[in-house]
Structure 1
């Protein structure tokens, strides 16, 4: 299945295209601001690199949060518009799920768990625990760093995401995978088979965990006008 995936939820803008799990093109640009301005050029870059047309797409995958309010809305607005224009199904995947999925190949212990965590600022973390295969075993939460997030069956495991170092202070026996810090659309594209049962013509809902404290930027309106 020819899949376009992208992420703008945190400190990067990334996009990728895969076919049946094989990566055809990808781009990853670290940034704290400017996601709305960079997303469409990044998508166009990977489309050209993959040598496909938008009409060839069979699936669009997008991250739904948690992350920054603006970043989450930018990605969802673009995904919804592209899906409507090109009549393509959508899947939404949480950033915590995506981070955990990236860690699965690095987990050599079937009894060890994976915790994905994102620095939510204000002394809080977005957190969710997964088993060794990346299946969620807790609901996503926002809270201070605490050993309570670790399932009682897991005494050690892997921590990934931008909040990893903060969380490790509460879970010293857990190991950080430092190079899995930001969600990456290349993983979302190549691993989309794990979430394909969510495919729908209806847009996915954002996952905030915290009430938004920002207004929609004008860049999102410009993004929608370009896509329509």
Structure 2
């Protein structure tokens, strides 16, 4: 059946989906602070059960590999690795920003002579961004962390850029780029958008090593120091 289970946990939206030969069968998602750790396995179980399936029917697992939330990505990848190891099935890793770009292709209409500039919020005026051709999602500019200013992405000109994602809105008020169009509707990476990308990787047997694969954070984790308790 070529059933692939997809897991996307890079943002506060936690989602899982089942695709058959790249076509969406069903998706479940929640938007809850800390929901990844509490709800991910529950979502997977209920998704399969509601569609008359169990884990033995799954032939591969696809996971969003980043950039995005440190905690979310770790939980998603750890869950995917554990399932792949236990079921002895392959693991597929997909760039989060490419998933977001595919989401635009599936939900929005646009002239083919454009490039896609998905952005994810990385706090303050920083975003994770990448650039893709609309037609085939060929990478124009690799994923990177960018501190936004009015001249960001000046190297990407002469072709209309459509930018979207939860990082794009904070650039809109200062952007002076002559070739940028902002999408008003909010768009997040979701497991439902991973199907065709994962299926192509499956056909190409582009699988990941369960031991060595790590999330693509793009920048080092900056945790906060715990405050000393006052007695």
What is the TM-score normalised by the length of structure 1? 0.85
Please list every run of 5 or more consecutive structure 2 residues that lacks an aligned counterpart in the other structure.
Answer: 225-231
Q: Is the 8 A contact 1:18 1:189 kept in 2?
A: yes
Q: CA deviation at 1:198?
A: 6.0
The alignment's C-alpha RMSD in Å is 2.1
Q: CA deviation at 1:29?
A: 1.0
Counterpart check, 1:121 vs 2:123: yes
1:53-202 → structure 2 map (5 Å cutoff): 53-105=54-106, 106-133=108-135, 134-146=137-149, 147-149=151-153, 152-168=156-172, 169-170=174-175, 171=177, 173-196=179-202, 197=204, 199-200=206-207, 202=209
Moved more, 109-118 or 172-181: 172-181
Counterpart check, 1:213 vs 2:214: no
CA distance in 2, matches of 1:135, 1:91: 18
Please list every run of 5 or more consecutive structure 1 residues that lacks an aligned counterpart in the other structure.
Answer: 216-228
Q: Is the 8 A contact 2:113 2:159 kept in 1?
A: no
State the partner residue of 2:228. none
What is the TM-score normalised by the length of structure 2? 0.84
Q: Secondary structure at the match of 2:25?
A: strand
Q: Give the 4+ runs in structure 1 shifted more than 6 A.
A: none
| Structure with more of its chain in helix, by fraction | 1
Q: CA deviation at 1:188?
A: 1.0
Q: CA deviation at 1:56?
A: 1.3
Q: Is the 8 A contact 1:113 1:154 kept in 2?
A: no
Moved more, 8-17 or 99-108: 99-108
Larger radius of gyration: 2
CA distance in 1, matches of 2:186, 2:138: 17
Q: Secondary structure at the match of 2:120?
A: strand
Q: Is the 8 A contact 1:60 1:83 kept in 2?
A: yes
Q: CA deviation at 1:48?
A: 1.0
CA distance in 2, matches of 1:50, 1:213: 41
CA distance in 2, matches of 1:71, 1:5: 14
